[in-house]
Amino acid sequence: MNWVWFHRFGSPPHFYRLATGMTPWFAWAAALLCIAGVIGGLGLAPADYRQGDGFRIIYVHAPSAWLSMMVYVVMASSAAVGLIWRMSVSHAIAASCAIIGASFTAVALGTGMLWGRPMWGTYWEWDPRLTSELLLLFLYLGYLGLRSAIDDTGRADRASAVLAIVGVVNVPIIHYSVIWWNSLHQAPSVMKFDKPDIPASMLVPLLMMLAGFTALFFALLLIRARGEVLRRERNARWAADALNVAAGKV
Amino acid sequence: MEHFLNMGGYARYVWPSYALALLAVVLNIYWARRSLRDAQSQARRRIERAGQSDAIKKGAP
């Protein structure tokens, strides 16, 4: 097994350069997919036979909920890599995830409430799916709070990594909550192994939104992680090159 | 157009959902870019300070 890529990825200057180059690709993919997805979801998809036009909330709710969980898994796994191999780039990536994840968890909860009111007759119910998603928001906020309470970046990285790794148990609980327990929330209709339950004109915009939000997350992550890598950098030489500053010539 | 905006009677749930998602997207783009800009200007200041102290050590004017 060739581990060169792993070591190169862990090198801050290499990561910084790679992230700078990749950001526009993710950003454009996100913009195009989300615009097409919104047009498809609001304009082209037919109204649902039971929920009418109310079901169109799915095109922002499901991608946000997907991000809320995927971002947490990215955060916990890069925190674990950072903790095990003492990789500062990995810690920088983990630290960049939290605020993005927290905001999309809030959107998933908010749009879920706006969807629940007309369909279930209530904004909120202490249902397994809703409760575990709320717990996810608190995990993100706890992670952010813990980081900001510790001044030393290295210690903040290690302490918050432990929290992120422990909290990852909640992700499968969220995902399987609708299957394990009786829930108001519907079971997954797209992310299952056999054929999805919805017609193509409804499904395609949804897949576009899911891909678009995922691309948006990676664009945001790469922008933030570059900043976090710079904050962790003590050896100024490559940073000076990257920022076009001539060190020593002030 | 009015029919579209009415969203089959679900307008008061559908539009706020989209507005909330759009707000999160816009804020995240703004926050991420601001965070990178702040880190870059901090790093720049650090490098310039380090450069100045090097120059002082070397006895440059």
Residue A49, judged by CB atoms within 10 A of its CB (0-12, 13-18, 19+), counts as: exposed
Nearest-CB residue to A247 (from B9, B20, B50): B50
d(CA A43, CA A45): 6
Interface check for B56 against chain A (CB to CB < 8 A): the answer is: no
Contacts of A50 (CB under 8 A, 6+ apart): none
Interface check for B39 against chain A (CB to CB < 8 A): the answer is: yes
What would the two tokens of residue A98 be? 């939290």
For A141-177, how does the pLDDT look when each residue is reduced to its tens digit (9 = 90+)? 999 999 999 999 999 999 999 999 999 999 999 988 8
CB < 8 Å & 24+ apart, contacts of A48-53: A48/A202, A51/A119, A52/B8, A52/B9, A52/B10, A53/B7, A53/B8, A53/B9, A53/B10, A53/B14
Average pLDDT over residues A83-109: 96
- The secondary structure of chain B in percent helix, strand, coil, rounded to multiples of 5, reads 90, 0, 10
Q: How far is A250 from chain B (nearest CA, A)?
A: 6
- Say if residues A128 and A139 touch (Cβ distance below 8 Å): no
Average pLDDT over residues A224-250: 77
Lowest mean pLDDT among A42-46, A99-103, B47-51: B47-51
Is the per-residue pLDDT at A202 higher than 70? yes
- Say if residues A243 and B47 touch (Cβ distance below 8 Å): yes
Neighbours of A250 (CB within 10 A): 13
More confident residue, A101 or A13: A101
Q: Quick one: which of A232, A55, A240, A139 has its CA closest to B17?
A: A55
pLDDT confidence band for A250 (50 / 70 / 90): very low
CB < 8 Å & 24+ apart, contacts of A144-148: A144/A98, A144/A99, A144/A102, A147/A95, A147/A98
User: Do the Cβ atoms of A245 and B44 come within 8 Å?
Assistant: yes
User: Do the Cβ atoms of B55 and A38 come within 8 Å?
Assistant: no
Of chain A, the percentage scoring pLDDT greater than 70 comes to 90
Q: Which residues pair with A52 in a beta bridge?
A: A48
Which chain A positions have a beta carbon within 8 Å of B17's beta carbon? 57, 60-61, 110-111, 114-115
What would the two tokens of residue A68 be? 């809320």
Is the per-residue pLDDT at A1 higher than 60? no
Nearest-CB residue to B17 (from A57, A100, A230): A57
d(CA A203, CA A210): 10
Interface check for B59 against chain A (CB to CB < 8 A): the answer is: no
- Where do runs of H (alpha helix) occur along A40-87? 58-85
For A54-75, how does the pLDDT look when each residue is reduced to its tens digit (9 = 90+)? 899 999 999 999 999 999 999 9
> What is the torsional sign of CA A57, A62, A67, A73?
positive
Q: What is the pTM of this model?
A: 0.90
- Say if residues B19 and A211 touch (Cβ distance below 8 Å): no
pLDDT of residue A239: 84
Q: How far is A52 from chain B (nearest CA, A)?
A: 7
Is the per-residue pLDDT at A3 higher than 80? no
d(CA A161, CA A80): 6
Q: What is the ipTM of this complex?
A: 0.89
- Say if residues A56 and A45 touch (Cβ distance below 8 Å): yes
Is the per-residue pLDDT at A194 higher than 70? no
Which residue in A has a C-alpha nearest to residue B8's C-alpha? A53
User: Do the Cβ atoms of A230 and B52 come within 8 Å?
Assistant: no
d(CA A1, CA A95): 29
For A180-189, how does the pLDDT look when each residue is reduced to its tens digit (9 = 90+)? 887 778 876 6
For A24-50, how does the pLDDT look when each residue is reduced to its tens digit (9 = 90+)? 999 999 999 999 999 999 998 888 888
C-alpha R_g of chain A: 20
d(CA B42, CA B45): 5
Nearest-CB residue to B10 (from A52, A243, A247): A52
Is the per-residue pLDDT at A113 higher than 70? yes
pLDDT of residue A249: 46
